[in-house]
A = this chain, B = another copy of it.
């Protein structure tokens, strides 16, 4: 039996009267909810008692709280297999809190709603070239998309408890976008520009709006949707820019200032092609979407990012020699950079996401070849290279899922609002 620890705040004698009795309830709510969230099949109250070491009476009281607060629901009973009435299993509720995931990218806006059980309940992507649009206008369009998502959530009985917005750039802790080079944004105060819009309901402990790098949220989307088992991985978002999200032990590694994952600017040919960052020979100049399109003879086609990937995949499938050569070159450059990352971080899984996902059949072989050749430990520990489960646009889903995760981690904040 796994031990469970109940914690109580200890105070000095002068504040002994202030011991927080609530903290025990808070912990038990979280333990039981996490148990339900992590279960392979809906557990009964008795299963939870056995698995946590809590008494059945405590479990029943906690489950009643969670059901009353629309965090947990009773599943349909399992088919009768033996004598007696089967116990009803418990599942995460599909009509309680939900997360709002938003994305502003170079050529589209997106909004999605994910419920507590992790199901995507609404997802709209609106195509638009946002490069000539001011940040204020782009965010006004996004706010309209968010209002639609909010209405769609309400129609399904869901309450938006928080939002996360993905931006392809460097974001400060306060939501200030320092630089989004491919959007042409610099020092854009996103929370201030969105302040007039009510996106979500206030919930204690859940920020109303988190602004985060797109590649980071895409990695969280993969953690949410991908095959279980790989709790540490590198997720690469291949678009016009190339970003990466690093997940270590199930948590996003954000770096000292939240600016990790700029894999597109790893030098792969130190004195090679100049990059718009001011450096030379950056990976982005060898494996970024514009470069691959140009090498495949599609330069200037002004294709939206996901259309571009689909178009390249179609050409590759048809055996177009220029496209196949372009993808082989891009895959080799990508493999050089990823070999450096694996030598440094000793990761066993690399996920090709964003625009790379549909191109994985052609990018994967050269990446795998470079890893075999360049990773010191390749002989003992093969690295899995696979396409992302969500493919392109996992960032909005990852953002919404990150909101939901906050509620599962600390349900008392949601319950305190009156549910």
**Interface residues, chain A, with chain B CB atoms under 8 Å away:** 1, 3-13, 15, 49-50, 53-55, 170, 178-179, 232, 244, 246, 248, 253-263, 265-270, 277-280, 282, 336-337, 339-341, 343-348, 373-377, 380-381
Provide 15 A-B residue pairs closer than 8 Å at the C-beta atoms, listed in order of the A residue.
A3-B10, A6-B10, A170-B377, A232-B256, A258-B346, A260-B346, A261-B344, A262-B343, A262-B376, A263-B344, A265-B343, A267-B340, A267-B374, A270-B336, A337-B340
- Which chain B residues lie closer than 8 Å to A348 at the CB level? 256-257
- Which chain B residues lie closer than 8 Å to A3 at the CB level? 9-11
- With A12-B49, A55-B13 already in contact, the answer to whether A344 and B376 are too (CB < 8 A) is no
Residue of B nearest to A28 (CB): B10
- Which chain B residues lie closer than 8 Å to A253 at the CB level? 248, 345
- With A49-B12, A267-B340 already in contact, the answer to whether A347 and B6 are too (CB < 8 A) is no
* A9 touching B13, Cβ below 8 Å: no
Q: How far is the CB of A140 from chain B (nearest CB, A)?
A: 27
- With A270-B336, A279-B373 already in contact, the answer to whether A260 and B345 are too (CB < 8 A) is yes
Considering the chains assembled together, what is the distance between the CA atoms of A263 and B260 in angstroms?
Answer: 17
* B1 touching A10, Cβ below 8 Å: no
Copies of this chain, how many? 2
- Kindly list the 5 A-B residue pairs having the minimum CB-CB distance in the complex, ordered from nearest: A255-B346, A266-B340, A262-B343, A279-B374, A260-B346
Given contacts A13-B55, A178-B377, A259-B381, 18 further A-B contacts (CB under 8 A): A5-B8, A6-B10, A7-B7, A11-B53, A12-B50, A12-B54, A179-B376, A256-B347, A256-B381, A257-B348, A257-B380, A262-B343, A263-B344, A267-B336, A267-B339, A267-B374, A277-B376, A279-B373
Residue of B nearest to A378 (CB): B278
The residue that A9 contacts in the complex, of B5, B268, B278, B339, with Cβ under 8 A, is B5
- With A5-B8, A8-B5, A277-B376 already in contact, the answer to whether A344 and B13 are too (CB < 8 A) is no
- With A345-B255, A346-B259, A374-B279 already in contact, the answer to whether A53 and B269 are too (CB < 8 A) is no
- Which chain B residues lie closer than 8 Å to A345 at the CB level? 246, 253, 255, 260
Residue of B nearest to A339 (CB): B267
* B6 touching A7, Cβ below 8 Å: yes
Residue in A8, A11, A256 whose Cβ sees the most chain B Cβ within 10 Å: A256
Considering the chains assembled together, what is the distance between the CA atoms of A10 and B278 in angstroms?
Answer: 58
Q: How far is the CB of A13 from chain B (nearest CB, A)?
A: 6
